[in-house]
Amino acid sequence: MAKELKNFTKRSDNYSQWYNELVAKADLAEQSAVRGCMVIKPYGYAIWEKMQRQLDDMFKATGHQNAYFPLLIPKSFLSREADHVEGFAKECAVVTHYRLKNDPEGNGVVVDPAAKLEEELIIRPTSETIIWNTFKNWIHSYRDLPLLVNQWANVFRWEMRTRMFLRTAEFLWQEGHTAHATREEAEAEARRMLDVYADFAENFMAIPVVKGVKTETERFAGALDTYTIEAMMQDGKALQSGTSHFLGQNFAKAFDVTFMNKENKPEYVWASSWGVSTRLMGALIMTHSDDNGLVLPPKLAPIQVVIVPIYKNEDDLKAISAKVEPLVAALRAKGLSVKYDDADNRRPGFKFADYEVKGVPVRLAIGAKDLANGTVELMRRDTLEKETLPFEGIEEHIVKELDDMQASLLEKARKRREERTITVDTYDEFKKRIEEGVFILAHWDGTPETEALIKEETKATIRCIPMDGDTTPGVCMVTGKPSKRRVLFARSY
Amino acid sequence: MAKELKNFTKRSDNYSQWYNELVAKADLAEQSAVRGCMVIKPYGYAIWEKMQRQLDDMFKATGHQNAYFPLLIPKSFLSREADHVEGFAKECAVVTHYRLKNDPEGNGVVVDPAAKLEEELIIRPTSETIIWNTFKNWIHSYRDLPLLVNQWANVFRWEMRTRMFLRTAEFLWQEGHTAHATREEAEAEARRMLDVYADFAENFMAIPVVKGVKTETERFAGALDTYTIEAMMQDGKALQSGTSHFLGQNFAKAFDVTFMNKENKPEYVWASSWGVSTRLMGALIMTHSDDNGLVLPPKLAPIQVVIVPIYKNEDDLKAISAKVEPLVAALRAKGLSVKYDDADNRRPGFKFADYEVKGVPVRLAIGAKDLANGTVELMRRDTLEKETLPFEGIEEHIVKELDDMQASLLEKARKRREERTITVDTYDEFKKRIEEGVFILAHWDGTPETEALIKEETKATIRCIPMDGDTTPGVCMVTGKPSKRRVLFARSY
């Protein structure tokens, strides 16, 4: 059983299959009976809850309040904003009836044709429309602004090809929606929330990200600008991990939301929206995990420390438990999540394998010999290195190991990204190097046509126009036309 | 404006209208563009979040883990359990299509008839079916039991008559779903979670509840037993505030979920489910609030203490702020939520009215005169009594007032319920007294026919067969047939 748990496809053999196996073996999620919808299992959900709690604290610290808006959106709302309808009113779940009845022929229940809705309702693919229709009631004067609202919710987009966490028909997310008196404030808000996302990615998920602006082609439907954080997975592909949008006055105009300014004149309201989703779970898994299973940054691990007693009889176990209990209490008092696994229906070897697959950052093992010697064995999940240490002072040592591991995972990911980010000047070289799984900084002439050609020929897209880094002008690697600065290309999830 | 805020319909004039006005004026919720679906506004949602956090802690302390299951349920799942389909496969939102397309006639978007689902999907009205279909994969041996899972989610029931929080088409809730090896364990779980709900209602919401068992007529569709907590609102009506269900092996049989017992023989799994919803917001509002607005128990108030400076000029404000800031810090250090409202775009009178309507438990006001005298004015929201107190020591005084208020609200509600719970022996007296808005303990012969007759003639229902209280047998007030014990009747929400 222990062997079976750890019997993974290697990342180097088939990265995609490794990912799918890991999601299953670490008990994170599974397919449901409904096409494209996953079940998030308790262990996977516990990680999501930790992320959610941290993000929610960060949103509140920046002045946002949570609220809740309806799941269903009148079909006509989608058509109000011209670009938005193109982007979202396509593959979505449509509610057409409000009643079932017993099948007259006796086969269970059937849709009651008499209960057809006058106007169909759409399960929200995103909530700009229903929220701006509501903001109309909330905003009258400049005194009502800024309005800084966030919603934690489920959304639905009928995706054809789905993958656990990365792309599912239903997913969980947060969507921030804010209203401002000026263009500058709305733009600043979109950038500020991108910074919050980058801060969260780096300091909690231990994932370094490139902050940047999306090209027109990749912009959110209805936005004037989309900002993004892009992370590199272990296979060198990019994962768009969070976006924030400057929406201009588009939704205010579509839903007729104006405010009286200080001069008592009506103006359309300026908007931003921003979101991260359960997709972040995919980023977390693919950034740190290895051929033995999940590797979790300590700050997001549901169990940070597990202690496994090794015993032959009840007396051994009693003696070990007596030694371990004060340590458990002391670690918990420091706010750490600790599990003392003295269950007798699984052998230590199975427990070791299971906690390794589940990515518990620090594992202690303690047996009768340790008791006699005043020692304990500590293993760190990222290095898999075992050390026998004095039991005395182990508490501080654990704290130090957790801090080290959090920092080390970020450093490792940053180093990998740096090594695999290259600068390329010719399209020939681009086509060759992109196969290696790298981020490429290259010059582009700024046109959607060239962007589309590169995508068509290489499957690489412009992930973003980075906010930082080299801003030297040059010439487009494809057309030779002028380029303002290098942009970031990669294949992506 | 201050006057307008507080200009409520009186409870004694029209309780129902008072409720609707309060929900609007206290900024709790509003109707959305989608029939029967509400928008929960930031202030209302902040209260729900406090309830949610506390309940979640209590669920985790009793060994439950959160998970997430799909929003949509295949239509056929509803028919698997015979009683369940009768109860839930009626008024529900039915997804029949998965795509929209541009209207060929140019009028926005229309449903694409080519994108019709083979099997319709239902937006979950409750999740027993999809969850038991999943549990089949998770449960194989007695070692996998008990399985204690909870989900925080939105659900949808197409209600014809809706009222904010009390009955809405979409609502937010938690649904616990547990699986056990024995009947006894599953029954004990259902009763244990009822105790958790009662504990939460009394010790956090300050609402005393009657715990009891539902009659067969009022049972959850698919349950062998439904337990309930019933609360009395200020108009004497009952509000069912939480239920837990012993589901027997019904869902295990419907979804073929068996486990190998210790003797290595297959057995069907035993189940419970239990839930509370945003309906609790309605209970909270209707139990404590008064003709001046919301009254909140301190433990669930988003703002527990508000401090309003009264000043004529900037110098006054500076001096007041200097005095108040250490107090704010000290209160926050005690974990209290404090707002110091020095905004200059609203007058103190408006602020007072607004915080009164929003039910902030303790309000401090401090002006130049107070500074000179070393005093501060304190008002408690439940009594509306003002006291001028020494500023010195105010911190401890505030903590004491909050504790007192929490206890006093519960006591007041308990006293009201006791005064308005009566014992009745004849049906004539029952018909007369029920008009007064009371809980009535009366004898009933145990038949659904008598229960239906009483409901038909008096609009009162059996809220529950109480778990505590008088168990003396008697004779049914309607039929004169034997009755095992008195049961609890009331009109209800």
Report B:162-221 residues touching A (Cβ under 8 A).
Answer: 170, 172
Q: In this structure, are residues A271 and A251 in contact, taking their beta carbons and an 8 Å threshold?
A: yes
b/e sequence A386-396, b meaning 16+ C-beta within 10 Å: eeebebeebbe
pLDDT at B345: 85
Looking at the predicted structure, is the pLDDT value of residue B94 above 90?
Answer: yes
Residue B364: pLDDT above 70?
Answer: yes
Q: In degrees rounded to 5, what are phi and psi of residue B416?
A: -60, -45
Decide if B95 touches A, using CB distance below 8 A.
Answer: yes
Which residue on chain B is closest to A143 by alpha carbon?
B345
Cα separation values, B66 from A42, A464, B4, B147, Å = 6, 36, 44, 11
A346 CA to chain B: closest CA distance, Å?
A: 10
B134 touches chain A (CB under 8 A): yes
B4: confidence class by pLDDT, cuts 50, 70, 90: low
Please identify every stretch of chain A with a pLDDT value under 70, giving residue numbers as ranges: 1-6
Distance CA B489, CA B435 (A): 12
A-B C-beta contacts closer than 8 Å: 188
> From start to end of A198-255, where are the E strands?
210-213, 225-232, 238-248
Closest residue in chain B to residue A27, using alpha carbons only: B138
DSSP symbols for B386-401: EEEEESTTHHHHHHHH
Q: Does B386 touch chain A (CB under 8 A)?
A: no
What is the pLDDT, as a whole number, of residue A1?
A: 44
Contacts of B93 in chain A (CB under 8 A): 72, 95, 98, 121
ipTM above 0.85, yes or no: yes
pLDDT at B5: 67
Decide if A45 and B34 are in contact by the 8 Å CB cutoff: no
Q: Does A384 touch chain B (CB under 8 A)?
A: no
**Partners of B151 in the beta sheet?**
B175
Whether A94 and B95 lie within 8 Å, measured CB to CB: yes
B366-377 pLDDT, tens digit each: 999 999 999 999
Confidence of residue B1 (pLDDT cuts 50, 70, 90): very low
d(CA A334, CA A394): 13
Residues 435-464 of B with CB under 8 A from A: none
In the structure, what pLDDT confidence band is assigned to residue B182 with cuts at 50, 70 and 90?
Answer: very high
Question: CA A193, CA B61: separation in Å to the nearest integer?
Answer: 34
Listed residue (A464, A466, A468, A453) closest to A492, CA to CA: A464
Give the Cα separation of B166 and B124 in Å (integer): 19
B89 in contact with chain A, both atoms CB, cutoff 8 A: yes
The answer for residues whose C-beta is within 8 angstroms of residue B344's C-beta and 6 or more apart is none
Separate counts of helices (H) and strands (E) for chain A: 15, 27
Q: What is the CA radius of gyration of chain B?
A: 26
Quote the minimal CA–CA distance from B176 to chain A in Å.
13
Predicted confidence at residue B217, as pLDDT, reads 93
Other CB atoms within a 10 A radius of the CB of residue B184 amount to: 10
Of A38, A72, A133, the CB nearest to B37: A72
Question: pLDDT: is A323 or B103 the higher one?
Answer: A323
Residue B463 to residue B438: CA distance in whole angstroms: 12
Q: Mind listing the pLDDT tens digit for each residue in B219-269?
A: 999 999 999 999 999 999 999 999 999 999 999 999 999 999 999 999 999
CB B120 within 8 A of CB A111: yes
Give the Cα separation of A340 and B360 in Å (integer). 43
pLDDT in tens, B186-228: 999 999 999 999 999 999 999 999 999 999 999 999 999 999 9
Query: Measured over all CA atoms, what is the biggest interatomic distance in chain A, rounded to whole angstroms?
Result: 82
Spatial CA neighbour of A179 closest among A140, A126, A213, A229? A140
- The verdict on a CB contact (< 8 Å) between B42 and A65 is yes
Structure tokens at B285: 């509002």
pLDDT (0 to 100) of residue B32: 97
Residue B178's Cβ-side half-sphere holds a number of Cα atoms within 13 Å equal to 29
| Cα–Cα dist A256/A125, whole Å | 22
Q: B427 to chain A, minimum CA–CA distance in Å?
A: 38
Q: Cα–Cα distance between A107 and A491 in angstroms, integer? A: 49
Q: Where are the alpha helices (DSSP H) in A204-313?
A: 250-254, 279-288
Task: Give the pLDDT confidence score for residue A201 in this predicted structure.
Answer: 98
**Residue A117 contacts B, CB cutoff 8 Å:** no
Instruction: Give chain A positions within 8 Å (CB) of B69.
Output: 32, 39
- Cβ distance of A42 and B66 shorter than 8 Å: yes
DSSP helix/strand/coil, B440 = strand
- Nearest partner of A175 among A210, A207, A131, A123, judged by Cα: A131
Sign of CA dihedral B434, B440, B443, B447: positive
Amino acid at B281: M
Q: Please give the distance of CA B180 from its chain centroid, rounded to a whole number.
A: 27
Q: Are A99 and B109 within 8 A, CB to CB?
A: no
What pLDDT sits at residue B373?
97
B96 vs A contacts (CB less than 8 Å): 94-97, 111
Cross-chain Cβ contact B49/A34 below 8 Å: no
Q: Is B434 exposed, middle or buried (0-12, 13-18, 19+ CB in 10 A)?
A: buried
Measuring CA to CA, which residue among A129, A374, A143 is closest to residue A255?
A129
